[in-house]
Amino acid sequence: MKRYENKNVVITGAAQGIGQATAKRIAEEGGSVALIDIKGLEKTQKMVEDLGGKAFSFECDVTDGVKVKETVDAAAEALGGFDTLFHIAGILRTYHTHEMTFEQYHSIMNINMHGTFYVNQAALPHLLKNKYSSITNMASTAAIGSHPWMSAYAASKGAVVSFTRALYIEYVKQGLRANSVVGGGIATSLHSDFKAPPGGDLKLLAGAMPFVGFAKPEKIASVFAFLGSDDARFINGTEIRADGGALS
């Protein structure tokens, strides 16, 4: 498939995991990409270029709203405009809620919730220049399921789901589609960082584990590639759950 020929895509969290796999998938389908992450984009850029794709790399902390706007504007200039945003950057941390510090809570919220707002807001003026455009944000099964030790993470990803639905209805008449991917059970560094806090009973996680095993990032990249493409033109303002059936 070459669904992204003559299309320009901005991808956050592109240094590894789902973001990196998505950049590779878009390059395979003929698209040009602007890669955004806090550091470590060299490998992803080389992967894209080895596939014959065009890539531009930008280091940015998504919790810095001013820097985010400067970076997204620079990405738009480098690409000559863009019509698709995949916002994948995020963080997962687990704590007993009664022991979580304010700093730990705000760190999760700043990256997952505020970062989503900053990136999406900065991208909107560029996206709305197109007749049709698309945003796909990375959410989590924690937003709609019951996961222990993840109260802040669940709240932040629940905010992503609600925020994305609000974008859809606000801008649908201007040709924008906005959806989120509710992912779970994905073998990435974000999930490998997971560990139960001291005294946590791992049996409480049984309902969040896919029976079919953990998915590689490429499986979720295919969902992003679909949602950003014209194949998904009639999908808007919703969440696509990609969790191997864990919440079924």
How far is Cα of residue 81 from the mean position of the Cα atoms in its chain?
20
Contact by Cβ (8 Å): 196, 149: yes
**CA torsion, points 7, 169, 92, 98, in degrees to nearest 10?**
170
Q: Phi then psi for 53, rounded to 5 degrees? A: -90, 170
Q: How far apart are CA 171 and CA 20, in angstroms?
A: 28
Contact by Cβ (8 Å): 90, 190: yes
Contact by Cβ (8 Å): 121, 101: no
Q: Please provide the size of the chain in residues.
A: 248
CA neighbor of 243 nearest in space, from 212, 202, 204: 212
Contact by Cβ (8 Å): 148, 205: yes
What is the set of active-site residues?
Answer: 153
Cα-atom radius of gyration of the chain, to the nearest Å? Answer: 17
Q: In this structure, what token pair is assigned to residue 239?
A: 């969440």
